[in-house]
């Protein structure tokens, strides 16, 4: 949970180190000279991560309510915007196109969720494709990336896979996936990225299982 929180927040510009993140969310400490916003983002992501783990056991369908609940926990530093679709137009950093106008967001999200529910492709393909499209809609004023990665992991866990940890060191490659989708209209690059992360996670789990078996 500490590692996931550190990496997801760092991708979005949070300045807490991995150790500092651990001190904030495990010990409740305040890090000198670090912004209050960064502390609140760490605590909010921790709460949202724990929420995702808890609801993954219920196997309920992904819904607008679940997405807004995750976002409400993530956005601890902006209480007035928690769990609410944005009311202002935005442009995603590094993207050529402008995200949908605020008036379009409810219908765009409904369409995306309906498409996701009827998608019969492999779970990794399905959830990776959803993630790319969710981020392009950019339904919230802030916290879209963190919320989107938590949704990604919620759906992977429900499908029987370990959660993946999109690393801060891979931020440029991650952003390139969105540029590729914008240019070509397909999410293959991110699907491959998720699949590679899954193989890495499964390799760690297998190694731990073999180690336990020999002790």
Tally of CB atoms within 10 A around 140? 26
The Cα 31–Cα 40 span in angstroms is: 12
Are the C-beta atoms of residues 177 and 189 closer than 8 Å to each other?
A: yes
Q: Name 144's Cβ contacts closer than 8 Å, sequence gap at least 6.
A: 134, 135, 138
Active site residue 122: no
Q: Do residues 164 and 153 lie in contact, with contact meaning Cβ atoms separated by under 8 Å?
A: yes
User: CA 191, CA 117: separation in Å to the nearest integer?
Assistant: 18
- Out of 39, 45, 131, 138, pick the active-site residue: 138
Alpha helices in 28-170 (DSSP H): 36-56, 64-74, 105-117, 123-137, 144-158
Q: Looking at the annotation, which residues are catalytic?
A: 138
């Amino acid at each position: 949970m500490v590692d996931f929180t550190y990496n997801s927040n760092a991708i979005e510009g949070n300045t807490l180190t991995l150790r500092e993140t651990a001190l904030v969310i495990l010990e409740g400490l305040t890090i000198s000279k670090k912004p209050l916003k960064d502390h609140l983002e760490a605590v909010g992501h921790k709460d949202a991560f724990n929420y995702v783990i808890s609801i993954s056991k219920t196997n309920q369908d992904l819904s607008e309510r679940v997405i807004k609940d995750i976002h409400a926990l993530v956005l601890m530093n902006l209480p007035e915007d928690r769990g609410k679709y944005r009311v202002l137009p935005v442009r995603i950093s590094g993207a050529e196109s402008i995200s949908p106008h605020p008036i379009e967001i409810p219908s765009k999200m409904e369409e995306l969720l309906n498409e996701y529910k009827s998608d019969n492709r492999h779970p990794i393909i399905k959830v990776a494709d959803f993630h790319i499209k969710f981020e392009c809609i950019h339904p919230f004023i802030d916290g879209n990336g963190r919320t989107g990665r938590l949704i990604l992991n919620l759906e992977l866990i429900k499908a029987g896979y370990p959660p993946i940890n999109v690393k801060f060191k891979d931020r440029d490659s991650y952003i390139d996936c969105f540029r590729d989708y914008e240019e070509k209209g397909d999410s293959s690059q991110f699907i491959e990225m998720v699949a590679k992360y899954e193989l890495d996670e499964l390799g760690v789990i297998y190694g731990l299982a073999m180690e336990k078996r020999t002790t």
